[in-house]
Structure 1
Amino acid sequence: MRVLLLVPAATLLLSSAAAPADVVEYECKVRATGETQDVKVEVELTVPTDAQVGEEMVIGWHGSYVQGSELRAPAAGLEDGLKLYAYAGISGIDKLTSATGVAALEPLIPGAPVPLPATTVNLKTTPKNPGTGTVHAASINFGTSPSERAIECEVKNKDARTEYPLSIPGTGETTSPSPSETDETTSPSPSETDTKTKTPAGAADTGGGGEAGPDGRVLIGVGGLLVLASATGLVLRRRRLVAGL
């Protein structure tokens, strides 16, 4: 029976790896008043071990305050319906820099600690390329939307953060290879049927006459008439000579 119970647990470990809580120090600023607070949060990240290129992956985020270092709601300047926006930074993998998630919060009480979600927040992102990198806890914000932030919390102890390994197998985005020598082609020389009629500048394009143009055709016509007239004169002269004989 013990062996059967261990199999499901091993299966769960293959899909994600939960890391021990990491104490992250934040400087939180209330945008409405400019007030700042130093806050410490124990952040536990669950990094997937089965991430794939082109598929959405989820990094679990769970945070709890270090006692005595809570973020406290200001007396005024906060709207109802605030949400937590949590982020994880990702390094070492091309075109994959962060994951983000959102969770609703309980109503705030002025002067009391701003509540953090009791359940794990899913931070989502989609890798475009394979690689091996690391994941670390990043900033957290509180607001009604990602762009409407009431409180912004930036990491102070960046160098002390734990880096959790992330591996993404497979193949990534590819670009079309440059053509090889065997692929190079040259434009064929135009055939006789492709040769276009040329028209001198300033002359009307009549669609015939080749390169001679309208003026050239007039000269050719006149020359033809002269030749015909000369030939007719020779014929008449010959007839007169015959008659004289």
Structure 2
Amino acid sequence: MSAAPKAVNYTCTVGGTGVSTVPYAFQMDLAGPVTAPTPNATVVATWKIGQPLASPSITAPSAIPAAGRLIVDADVAINGVPLAVASELRAVVATAAPASATPGQQLTPPPMLITVTPTAAGAITLRPDAFTLLVDSGTGTTETELLDCTVTAAEAAAGATVITVQTAGASTGPSSTPPATPPTSPSNTPPITTPEPTVTLTRTKTAEPVKTNQIEKTPDGAAATGGGGDAGPDARLIMFSGALMVAFAGIGGLVLRRRTATRG
């Protein structure tokens, strides 16, 4: 693929006059596909013959009718190891759409397509060669020669283009890129599964105080020996009266015993 048209010096005869001393510096644009092709794929290149940057130019020597067509019949040199024929000079022909032109009007030759089919990876070189430009009046029977141009191989090399054919899946990166790791064969070891986490809930219960029969309030004074400590002032008075009655009864019994003894 060429980045821009390149000037290639040709020597041409004009209008079938036989004069071959007219030099033309045509702008040759010979371009391959945008992406690198692969083996066994059809590769199409395009060859455009552009007007020279300086005089002389490609012009109509006389009026061309509306049905008139420009025809370019050219040769292209094809060389490449990936091709079934490593070297050949192939003829390519292209016809433009009908268009009229006035005498002296600049003409644009139609682009030509070059098709090759590489059988392996490698480089293919396409080089422009001789061509003839004609005008068909539109009847299909009359063709008028406008230019018949030749070129040397050294001059044509300036307009050549090289197409690189790559194998399918070839990497454009550095050659030191490590190969991909091959897949490992499956084993009989069962897959390791990750256990699901167990959630543990912990509840703290506050112990309730144990009820006992002990007296929580310590009584004043000495230790209690029986009833009465908490009987209250009325009960103590009754008990004290009872004790006095028992004491008086005992005293009365002693008095009676003494009186009986005296009488006796």
Q: TM-score range by the shorter chain?
A: 0.3 to 0.5
Q: Counting helix residues as a fraction of each chain, which structure ranks higher?
A: 1
TM-score (norm 2): 0.44
TM-score (norm 1): 0.47
Structure of larger gyration radius: 2
